[in-house]
Amino acid sequence: MVTEAWDGKIFSGGFVAGGAGTSPVLAPATGETIASVGQADTADLDRAVRAAAAAQPAWAALPYTERAAVMARAAALLGDEPERLTRWLVPESGSGQGKAGFEAMLVTSELQAGAALAAQPYGQLLRSMKPRMSIGRYVPVGVVGVISPFNFPAILSMRSVVPALALGNAVVLKPDPRTSVSGGLALAALLAEAGLPEGLLHVLPAGADVGAALVAHPDVPCISFTGSTAAGRRIGETAGGLLKKVHLELGGNNALLVLPDADIDAAASAGAWGSFLHQGQICMTTGRHLVPRDRLEEYAAKLAQAADRISVGDPTDPANALGPIVDQGQLEKVHALVGSTVEAGARLRAGGTHEGLFYRPTVLTDVPLDSPAWREEIFGPVAPVTGYDTVEEAIDIVNSSEYGLSVSILTADPFAALQLADRIKAGAVHVNDQTVDDEAVAPFGGTKASGAGGHFGSSVNLDTFCDVQWVTIQSDIQRYPF
């Protein structure tokens, strides 16, 4: 058991006891209890929202340089000591050490971008038919409710928390119960040390009841949710009925399209990374591999070889590239999808087995287009592969999914691929890279069942975490005929 300032606590006006007691933090690789966190109840939520609403106006009124300075200090602290996060990401979320280091870097980058975001132009001069100044300006919404997932817990919390704060909002964050430290409390400690004034960030580890209350809270006008499409639909229904600003970043079943002229060695390497990184527990994971039928066997053999070489085990051992599936329920779902797809006619080329929560990287070929592993988001280290005869057919298959998050096109002719991108229905298209990519300075979001209500990244955060206010100014009071 490790004792920290937040051990057994929530973060709301400092680290304090939660109304629902405490909960152990379990390492999925070993089942060991590695810490304890507080558990919030709805009374804690009400207090947090009141405190956030009270603190937010003064924060928004500060010179932008002061908000930027907090983000810059937090970036410097984490850049100097990434272990602030990696020492929790590895055991708590089952991250391989490389993935944990990469995630800490992404959080540092997000903080740096947040410092820059605070200095962005926040409006524009508009033309008017009248002799007046007409301005459209972004103003902070007030209190932003953030609900974040377990898989990349630190960055998927901070890509909402940081821009919301930088733009003058307060935040109430409910991290996934499985990653309350790396997805919440460790981040609160970092920002508090960087000088974030009290009351602006509240971290409430809790169950679904508190999450539902946060979505429905009358004094939280904006909800930013990252998670499954099923949960996103429920949140959208509730928030929409309450006329809230809602941002939903949801699931994906992302396609990697290998064109006939692609280098198969390089394509298989990209495909393996896209499907197996962090045990496939990423919304951008490559979930569908489309390969020319006459090159499918070569690609599948190389992808299976890559899968067989990957070491899987306790991620505290740096020799292991992949760690555990997050919990037993998710492992059973992954294994059932693999089994039912093999029963539907797919061929198992690698993996398909597990020891405890450690699932072997798995390659399925000749996968029917109506099989579970092809149609559904797997969220496990599984690479379904199928062949196509024409590029036209392949584009139709890519677009046939209900999801539209990320698509990869691998080719020797990147400008031809750029033309194909015009026909692809997805929030991101990567030519000659795999599907997993995200940068704080780039707009990120999905289409169709992969997301709604806005994007993350760069200046598009203004639309997501602000309202637009029209302001006009005239020298004299306008006179009217009555």
Cα angle 195, 196, 201 (rounded to 5 degrees) comes to 150
Residue 1 above 60 pLDDT? no
Q: What angle in degrees, to the nearest 10, is found between the helix axes of 64-80 and 153-166?
A: 160
Q: How far is CA 127 from the centre of its chain?
A: 38
Q: Give the mean pLDDT of 328-339.
A: 97
Q: HSE of 216 in the Cβ direction (CA atoms, 13 Å)?
A: 10
Q: Name residue 314's amino acid.
A: D
Q: What percent of the chain has pLDDT over 70?
A: 99
pLDDT at 78: 98
Residue 144 above 90 pLDDT? yes
Q: HSE of 198 in the Cβ direction (CA atoms, 13 Å)?
A: 5
Model pTM score: 0.96
Of the candidates 372, 379, 441, 386, the residue with the CA atom closest to the CA atom of residue 405? 379
Q: So which residues are the catalytic ones?
A: 249, 283
Residue 343 above 80 pLDDT? yes
Q: For residue 431, what are the β-bridge partners?
A: 409
241 — pLDDT class (breaks 50, 70, 90): very high
Question: Is the Cβ–Cβ distance between 257 and 408 less than 8 Å?
Answer: yes
How far is residue 298's CA from residue 289's CA, in Å, rounded to a whole number? Answer: 13
pLDDT digits (tens, 9 = 90+) for 410-464: 999 999 999 999 999 999 999 999 999 999 999 999 999 999 988 898 889 999 9
How far is residue 143's CA from residue 200's CA, in Å, rounded to a whole number? Answer: 9
Question: Is the Cβ–Cβ distance between 39 and 20 less than 8 Å?
Answer: yes
Q: How far is CA 181 from the centre of its chain?
A: 16
Ordered structural domains, the chain, with CATH: 10-250+455-470 (3.40.605.10), 254-431 (3.40.309.10)
Question: Is the Cβ–Cβ distance between 25 and 33 less than 8 Å?
Answer: yes
